[in-house]
Structure 1
Amino acid sequence: MTDLDSYFKQLEAFRVSDEAREHLVSEVLEKYKVLSEEHANLANDYLSERDIRRNYQKAVDEQKQEVREYERQLEASSFVLALIDGDGAIFQDVLLQAAGGDGGSEAASRLYHAIRNHVASLHSNSGSWPIMVQIYLSLDKLAMKLAQVGLLRSPTELRAFAQRFSVNQPLFSIIDVGQGKERADHKIKEMLRTFSDNPTCRHIIFGGCHDAGYLLNLEQFKHNEMKAARITLLETTPAYRGFTDLSHFKRARFDVVFKSEPLPEATPSGFLPTSNAAVFVPSSNGYTPATTAPPPTQSPLLFRTPTQPSPRASVVSPVPNTASSTSTGPDTNGDASWATVGKTGAAPNGNISIAPTTKNKKKKYAYYNKEEQRLDEPLPTRDAASATSLDERMKRTGKKMCNHWHLGGNCENGKFCQFQHEPKLTTAELNALRYKTRSLACKNRYCENIDCYLGHQCALERDYGKCPYPDTCHLRATHGMDKTKFVRYDKDGNAEYA
Structure 2
Amino acid sequence: MDSEPASSQDYQNRIELGFDQLKSKSPSILSRTLTNQTSDDVYKFMNHEKSSQETIRKLENELSVYKLAISGLEAERDRFRKLQDETVKEVTFLKDQVKGHRVVTLIDGDGSIFSSDIIAQGQHGGHLAACSLSDSITQFLSTNYGAAPYQLWVYLFYNKRGLTDTFNRVGLGSLNKAYEDFVVGFNQATERFTMVDVGSMKEAADTKLRVYLDDDIRLPQTFKIIFGGCHDNGYASSLRSQMTAGFRDKLILLKGYTQMANAIAALDLPSLEIPDLFMPHKLAAGCRWMPASNQVVTDTDPILDESSPMLLGEPDETDSTGPSYSRVLQGAAPNREKSPREQSPSTEASGEASYTGFPGTRHIIPGIRLSKHKPPPCTLFYLSNCKHGTQCKYGHDYLMSEEHFQELRDNAKLGPCPMINRDEVCTWGDACCYGHYCPHSTKCPFYKLGKCKFRGVDMHRDPA
Q: TM-score, normalising length from structure 1?
A: 0.46
Higher RCO (C-alpha under 8 Å, 6+ residues apart): 2
Q: TM-score, normalising length from structure 2?
A: 0.49
